């Protein structure tokens, strides 16, 4: 019995030390959704390309309720930034007001901002986060989340 107690304690200690530290983040590959959205959209779709490897896509989806070649088509990708913040990219052929309301209902206009050399309308979400929106040809691009403006600049600069 005296030998068993230290042995059990040692095994428990080893199991505890093998536990992963920190919470694991689930990542996804948005490429299939980007490809499908480009096929389905009746407009020229922009999407992030060439983001640094530290940017990790954590969610990706396409909504094309009417099928290929019909509107509205929406691509929505969420990222974990290098600073551990959240940035979300949404592009659709909804008008600006519709795209803002679809992305984060209740957002309120809060001026404008120049990001990656382009003018974006700036909104505040109900959580107090930034939402940026601009027309890119016939499409409407939305950036939102708790990321900093410098990180939104990286994401905006990757849109092609």
CATH number for 146? 3.40.1000
- The pLDDT score that the predictor gives to residue 16 is 63
Where do we find the tokens 């070649």?
A: 69
Between 6 and 107, the higher pLDDT residue: 107
pLDDT band at 21 (very low <50, low <70, confident <90, very high): low
What pLDDT does residue 71 have?
A: 82
Please report whether residue 20 resides in a domain. no
User: Of 39, 54, 49, nearest to 89 (Cα)?
Assistant: 49
The residue with tokens 């983040």 is 25
Element (H, E) at 91: strand 86-92
Residue 12 inside a domain? The answer is no
- Summarised one tens digit per residue, pLDDT across range 36-84 is 999 999 989 999 999 999 999 999 999 988 766 778 899 999 999 999 9
Q: What is the largest CA-CA distance in the chain?
A: 77
- The pLDDT value recorded for residue 84 is 96
Amino acid 75: pLDDT: 97
Phi then psi dihedrals of residue 106, to 5 deg: 90, 5
Answer whether residue 102 shows pLDDT above 70: yes
Domain assignment of residue 107, yes or no:
yes
Average pLDDT over residues 147-157: 98
Q: 66 is in which domain, residue-wise?
A: 26-157
d(CA 83, CA 141): 23
Mean pLDDT, the chain, integer: 90
Contacts of 149 (CB under 8 A, 6+ apart): 113, 115, 130
Name the band, by pLDDT with cuts 50, 70 and 90, for residue 17: low
Q: Is residue 1 part of a domain?
A: no
Q: Is residue 7's pLDDT more than 80?
A: no
Mean pLDDT in residue range 136-155: 97
d(CA 12, CA 101): 51
Token code pair at residue 74: 């929406």
The predicted model scores a pTM of 0.84
Distances (CA, A) of 148 to 9, 57, 145, 152, 154: 46, 17, 9, 6, 10
| 10 located within any domain | no
Would you say residue 131 has pLDDT above 70? yes
Q: How far is CA 145 from CA 81, 137, 149, in A?
A: 10, 23, 10
Provide the number of structural domains found in the chain.
1
């Amino acid at each position: 019995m005296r030998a068993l107690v230290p042995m059990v304690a040692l095994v428990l200690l080893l199991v505890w030390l093998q536990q992963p530290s920190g919470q694991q983040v689930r990542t996804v590959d948005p490429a299939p959704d980007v490809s499908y959205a480009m096929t389905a959209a009746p407009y020229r779709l922009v999407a992030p390309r060439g983001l640094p490897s530290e940017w990790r896509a954590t969610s990706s989806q396409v909504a094309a309720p009417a099928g290929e070649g019909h509107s509205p088509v929406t691509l929505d990708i969420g990222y974990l930034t290098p600073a551990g913040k959240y940035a979300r990219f949404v592009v659709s052929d909804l008008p600006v007001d519709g795209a803002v309301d679809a992305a984060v209902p209740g957002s309120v206009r809060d001026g404008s901002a120049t990001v990656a050399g382009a003018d974006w309308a700036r909104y505040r979400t109900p959580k107090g986060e930034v939402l940026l929106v601009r027309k890119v040809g016939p499409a409407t691009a939305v950036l939102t989340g708790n990321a900093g403006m410098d990180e939104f600049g990286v994401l905006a600069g990757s849109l092609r």
